[in-house]
């Protein structure tokens, strides 16, 4: 049996709220993908406890091992011998051979990582479990300004419904801890980019895995440049100049006000110049009223965009190991946790990163001549 979770986590509102359901012996609801998968894995079980036992029994025989061949590019920089392992053709690279505590004092190494990150949109490092929470802050600082848990500090949710906000690290209020165990199923499944309801959403995010399930719980990423490229030509023409309304949830309220921001549908990446589709079903509620788009057309256009979300060709999956760290570019990817691992435990820590260049924080669109 795993050690009990830290009381700092189990005494939080999040944990207590979700424990009520466990105490009532209710399985996770099917309306959440996490619950749906639990019902797939343990059908016809009479109680939550029986469901937990049935699922754990299925995974009981799993042992860790290295079984597959991998392809990587050897790369030397400043005395480091790296192995760059692409996860999928357009997105995601696992960088082997670096210690993030030791090797980033050389600015050339940081520049290299940043360039690769912009190109691949998600970079993953294995075996970084020795980084303390303070070390994570130092790592984030190499790439930008460390933000509050939801980016800029003008809007910091204080809603009693914001359960995630309750899970804080005492000395590092900017860090968000995301726990999940047998009592508390918890995974941000659903495609989104972090806090796009902010006027100047965070540039990037960092996630490190402190505890990993033996199977499941991957984080999936979707290439928004691929999504834009894949939109039908007619849809591109129709939506290219539109803006969309991004609205936070009740849990993101500050002083009772739900945050709302209006952003371009087509977004120019401020560093690569590439066009990305900056619409996701997570926070986008529709197009700005000034466009006077009929409900019917709005529905049709949003559906065409939704159709691009999560296409296998645009996505990669990051499989977590204890000590794996991922850093992604919120301007060019969506992400979604795969809520398929309950009742196994997963414990993650997250930081957001803001662009040091404040001018580049506000999303904009500078038309380029696409050649469709």
Report d(CA 246, CA 280) in Å as an integer: 9
How long, in residues, is the chain?
A: 372
Q: How far is the CB of 336 from Fe ion (least distance, A)?
A: 8
| CB closer to Fe ion out of 164 and 308 | 164
55 vs 124, beta carbon nearer Fe ion: 124
The region of 130-138, 153-161, 190-198, 321-329 touching Fe ion under the rule CB under 5 A is 190-198
- Find the part of the chain contacting Fe ion (CB under 5 A) among 5-13, 17-25, 189-197, 209-217: 189-197
Q: Does 309 bind Fe ion (CB under 5 A)?
A: no
For residues 168 and 344, what is the distance between their CA atoms, to the nearest angstrom? 22
- Judged by beta carbon, residue 137 or residue 188, the one nearer Fe ion is 188
Minimum Å gap between C-beta 212 and Fe ion is 18
CB of 163 to Fe ion, least distance (A): 14
The secondary structure of residue 5, as a DSSP letter, is P
User: Least separation, in Å, of the C-beta of 54 and Fe ion?
Assistant: 30
Q: What is the DSSP letter of 26?
A: P
DSSP string, 156-215: ----TT-GGGG-EETTEEEEEEEEE-SS------S-B-TTTTSSS--SEEEEEEEE--SS
Q: Minimum distance between the CB of residue 195 and Fe ion, rounded to whole angstroms?
A: 8
- Comparison of 188 and 304: residue with beta carbon closer to Fe ion: 188
Distance CA 187, CA 122 (A): 19
CA angle, 275 as apex, 96 and 71 as ends, to 5°?
A: 25
Nearer to Fe ion, 57 or 250 (CB): 250
Residue 101 or 189: the one with the smaller Cβ distance to Fe ion is: 189
- Report the nearest approach of Fe ion to the CB of residue 217 (Å): 14
Q: How far is the CB of 349 from Fe ion (least distance, A)?
A: 13
- The answer to the question of residue 349 lying near Fe ion (CB under 5 A) is no
**Which 246-305 positions form the footprint of Fe ion (CB under 5 A)?**
none
Closest CB 334 distance from Fe ion, rounded Å: 9
**Binding window for Fe ion (CB under 5 A); candidates: 123-131, 191-199, 284-292, 361-369:** 191-199
Work out the number of other CB atoms within 10 angstroms of the CB of residue 297: 13
Size of the site for Fe ion (CB under 5 A): 2
Residue closest to Fe ion, measured at CB: 194
Which residue's CB is nearer to Fe ion, number 54 or number 188? Answer: 188
Query: Residue 267 or residue 335: which is nearer to Fe ion going by CB?
Result: 335
Report the distance separating Cα 211 and Cα 323, nearest Å: 8
Q: Does 194 bind Fe ion (CB under 5 A)?
A: yes
222 three-state secondary structure: strand
Which two tokens mark 6?
């830290």
| H helical segments located in the chain | 7-10, 13-23, 33-41, 48-59, 107-120, 133-141, 224-230, 233-239, 295-306
Scan residues 129-188 and list those touching Fe ion (CB under 5 A): 188
Query: Residue 59's closest CA among 47, 44, 41, 43?
Result: 41
Contact residues for Fe ion, defined by CB under 5 A: 188, 194
């Amino acid at each position: 049996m795993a050690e009990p979770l830290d009381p700092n986590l189990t005494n939080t509102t999040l944990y207590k709220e979700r424990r009520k359901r466990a105490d009532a012996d209710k399985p996770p609801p099917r309306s959440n993908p996490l619950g749906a998968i639990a019902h797939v894995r343990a059908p016809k079980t009479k109680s939550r406890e029986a469901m937990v036992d049935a699922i754990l029994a299925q995974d009981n025989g799993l042992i860790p091992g290295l079984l597959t061949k991998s392809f990587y590019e050897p790369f030397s920089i400043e005395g480091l011998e790296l192995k760059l392992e692409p996860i999928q053709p357009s997105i995601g690279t696992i960088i082997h051979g670096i210690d993030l505590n030791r090797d980033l004092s050389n600015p050339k190494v940081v520049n290299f990582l940043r360039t690769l990150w912009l190109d691949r949109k998600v970079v993953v490092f294995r075996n970084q479990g020795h980084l303390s929470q303070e070390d994570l802050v130092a790592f984030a600082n190499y790439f930008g300004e460390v933000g509050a848990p939801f980016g800029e500090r003008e809007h910091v949710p204080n809603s009693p419904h914001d359960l995630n906000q309750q899970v804080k690290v005492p000395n590092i209020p900017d860090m968000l801890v995301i726990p999940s165990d047998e009592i508390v199923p918890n995974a941000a499944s659903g495609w989104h980019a972090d806090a796009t309801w902010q006027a100047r959403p965070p540039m990037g995010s960092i996630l490190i895995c402190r505890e990993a399930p033996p199977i499941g719980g991957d984080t999936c990423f979707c290439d928004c440049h691929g999504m834009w490229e894949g939109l039908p030509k007619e849809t591109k023409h129709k939506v290219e100049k539109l803006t969309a309304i991004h609205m936070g949830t009740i849990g993101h309220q500050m002083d009772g006000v739900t945050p709302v921001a209006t952003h371009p549908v087509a977004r120019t990446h401020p560093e690569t110049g590439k066009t990305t589709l900056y619409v996701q079903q997570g926070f986008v509620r529709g197009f700005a009223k000034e466009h006077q788009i009929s409900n019917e057309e709005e529905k049709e256009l949003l559906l065409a965009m939704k159709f691009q979300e999560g296409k296998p060709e645009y996505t990669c999956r990051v499989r977590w190991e204890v000590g794996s760290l991922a850093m992604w570019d919120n301007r060019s990817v969506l992400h979604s946790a795969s809520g398929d691992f309950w009742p196994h435990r997963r414990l993650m820590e997250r930081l957001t990163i803001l662009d040091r260049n404040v001018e580049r924080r506000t999303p904009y669109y500078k038309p380029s001549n696409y050649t469709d």
